[in-house]
Every structure is written in C-alpha cells, then in structure tokens.
Amino acid sequence: MSREAQPFGVYVHWPFCLSKCPYCDFNSHVRHAAVDEARFARAFAAEIAATAARVPGRTVCSIFFGGGTPSLMQPQTIGAVLDAVARHWQVAADAEVTLEANPTSVEAMRFRGYRAAGVNRVSLGVQALDDRALAALGRQHSAREALDAVAVARGIFDRYSFDLIYARPGQTPEQWKQELKRALAEAGEHLSLYQLTVEPDTPFATLRAAGKLALPDEDTARAFYDTTLEVCAAHGLPAYEISNHARPGGECRHNLVYWRGHEYAGVGPGAHGRLDIDGARHATMTEKRPETWLSLVERDGHGLVTDDVLTREELADEFLLMGLRLAEGIDPARYVALAGRPLDPARIAALNEHGLIETSGDGRLRVSLPGFAVLDAVVADLAA
Ligand SMILES: C[S@@+](CC[C@H](N)C(=O)[O-])C[C@H]1O[C@@H](n2cnc3c(N)ncnc32)[C@H](O)[C@@H]1O
Ligand code: SF4
C-alpha cells in the first residue's frame, strides 16, 4: 500500500474536566478559571502544522477528540481544529470524526453544534446505569441524565457509542448481566466495556490500600468478563477487541489505527503519536501540563517532549501488544518483517495446547476468548 493510502489518524487531547473522578488517571485537570479556548485552538493549529511538516502528504481517515472532557469545548473550537487538520493534510471523504462526551444535559445541548462542526460520531462516558454506583464513581450525572444524553446522541449522530465500567465495588456478575442487558437495549453499533482498574496514585488506590474498596477476586473477575462476552455476542455486538464490542462494520476506526499498528499524530497536552519518518517509526509524546504545553507551543511551534525512534525489538513488541488485543489477531508475517525473526514455534504450541491462542484459517494468530482473560500473560510469554 502506498504511504498515502495507509490509514492515518489524528488524536487531539482536551485536558480539562469539571471534576476529577476518583478512579481516573487520564491526563485531566480541573481549572476554576475559564479556559482560554481561542488560545488553545491557535496552539492546536500550530502543533498540527508542525506535525504535518514532519509527515506531509497523509490522508486522514480518522480524527478523535479525547480527554479529559472534550464535550466541554465550544463547537467553534472543534471546528477550528478540524479546519487546521484539513489545511495540512487530505481528509478522506468518509473520515470518522469522534468526540468523547460526558453525558450531562449541558453537554448534550452542544451535540448539534458538534455535528455542524464536522463531528460524526460520539462516545459517551455513561459508566453505570445505577445512581448509587455513579455517585461512588464520583460522576456528575445520574443514570437518567446519561440515558437522555444517549438519546440526544442517537437523534443527531449516525454513529454513537458509550462506555460502562464493570466489576465495581459491591457489584455481582448477575447484577452486571442485568445492567448490561439494559445498556444493550440503548446501544447503537458499539459499546466499550471496561473492568474497573485501580490505577496507582488515584483516590481509589488510597481506598483500596485502606481496605475500603472491595474488588472481585480472580474467579469473580473472570465471571464478569465471560458474562460480558456472552451477553454482547448474543445481542449481535461481539468483542472485536478485549474491551470493545461492535456490530460488524461498527468498529471504532480510530482505535483500529492504534491496534493495527498504523500511523497517528498526537496533538495537545500529553498526547502520544506514532510517526513514520525516513523509514523509522517515531514514538512521540507532548508535555502533559496544559499551561506548560501552551507555552512550549507558543515558543517552539510544538509541545513535543519525547521523540524516540523505536528499535526493531520495540516495534515488534508493540505490534504484538496492540494486535493481540483484537479478535482478528495478527499476521505473523508482519511480525517477522518487524522483528527480523519469527515468533517462537514452541511457545505458540504451548499456548495453543492450553487453549489460549489459535491460528485462523488464513494463518493469522489470535488470542482465544479464554486467552483474553489473561491477555497480558499471553503477550508477555510470546514476546519473551
Ligand atoms: C478518557 S476516559 C473518559 C471520557 C470522559 N471524560 C468521561 O469520563 O466520560 C475514557 C473511558 O475510560 C474508562 N476508564 C477511565 N478510567 C478507568 C478505570 N480506572 N477503570 C476502568 N475504566 C476506566 C471510562 O469508561 C471512560 O469513559
Ligand atoms: S473519567 Fe472522564 S470526567 Fe472523570 S476525570 Fe477522567 S477524563 Fe475526567
């Protein structure tokens, strides 16, 4: 495939939230003064120009506004970023343009403006359909408000998705099954379902250390995951990735860019990118602190703080790590091309014998459904 024809995504990070959820370790910050969006829009445009100067001539297949809470941005700020992308690269006529939204009524009121600005897909952070659970997660919305926001999204966008977090403190797999069924009745073509992870240095980590956060043991966690796979598949939204479920054709194309190892630009505070320059893959990251990022961009035209050329070994490991999250798995020939050596046949045979991986008819290597429950261990074994 020519360079121009290969998928190329643009990730734009909006680093602000109204409040910080106690489980979240994303690069998100609460500011009590108004954020100067026009200044951010100029900085985004400058960083897009600087990135395009390094990787010109790409055709953008997907743009993703992630956060933080991008649904706090004014539609005109979104429009300005999309204009900047289109000034510096070609944008495919059918490009997917996703915005992550928090499901409050105030934010839902902006959806029409986002549509007019060029957004064609929203991903809503519903998290739970139970008000007590939402309060425990520190969310600013009720279940009713979230479902109302989903209904607004459904009326405005052809494509929408929402996120739920399961295996929450005190939740049983049976309760989750009922909640998931209710969620599926509201779902479009896509759902993201994440098992609660206690991230270091979050208030949830402090609670757990104090013995105040009861999380499921390994067997119960497995029951949560199995329920998730079963109920979603029965409803026509099978897992296409370890935590993502879609009707065939409804997959998030942006995330497929990451998982299939394609190229993407990361714009905004704390954004990661993967850029192919002179035959080498660069792993980039920008400054995380929003105001420092702004100053860097205003001084230098970009906020890059990391720009590493990946070694063959790193490229091959990343390819495994990302590709094996997908139900479609990986093409072992591409691994050979990246690593310069094949995967160890003895390890493949052993994992196969344990029912953790399988080879499909067309020769792709994929993790089996039981293997997904222990994906990290499978990848570590193969990459060793
Ligand atoms: C960038 S975040 C949030 C987007 C948006 N600000 C929101 O909260 O709705 C994307 C998703 O990651 C998931 N997530 C964040 N932290 C998590 C954690 N510790 N465990 C499981 N899922 C998590 C949530 O479902 C969330 O919607
Ligand atoms: S979960 Fe969403 S709203 Fe909550 S702090 Fe993280 S990014 Fe912000």
Ligand 1 contact, 24 CB (< 6 A): yes
Can you name the residues that pair with 121 across neighbouring β-strands? 98, 159
pLDDT in tens, 129-159: 999 999 999 999 999 999 999 999 999 999 9
Say whether pLDDT at 186 is over 70: yes
What is the pLDDT at residue 105?
Answer: 86
Phi, psi of 260 (to 5 degrees): -90, 5
Structure token pair of residue 151: 């209904």
Measured CA to CA, the distance from residue 361 to residue 371 in angstroms comes to: 18
Which of 362, 361, 381 shows the shortest CA–CA distance to 371? 381
**Residue 171 alpha carbon to ligand 2 centre in Å:** 21
Q: What is the pLDDT of residue 3?
A: 67
In this prediction, residues 322-346 reach a mean pLDDT of 94
Residue with tokens 């489980």: 23
Rounded mean pLDDT of 351-369?
A: 93
Decide whether any atom of ligand 1 lies within 6 Å of the 196 Cβ. Answer: yes
Residues 6+ apart with CB under 8 A from 213: 169, 198, 204, 207
H helical segments located in 270-383: 290-300, 312-323, 332-339, 345-353, 369-372, 375-383
Residues flanking ligand 2, CB < 6 Å: 17, 20-21, 24, 26, 28, 67-69, 102, 125
343-359 per-position pLDDT tens digit: 999 999 999 999 999 99
- Give the model's pLDDT for residue 373: 85
Substitution site in 65, 69, 168 for ligand 2 pocket (most atoms within 8 Å of beta carbon): 69
Q: What residues contact 362, with CB distance under 8 A and at least 6 apart? A: none
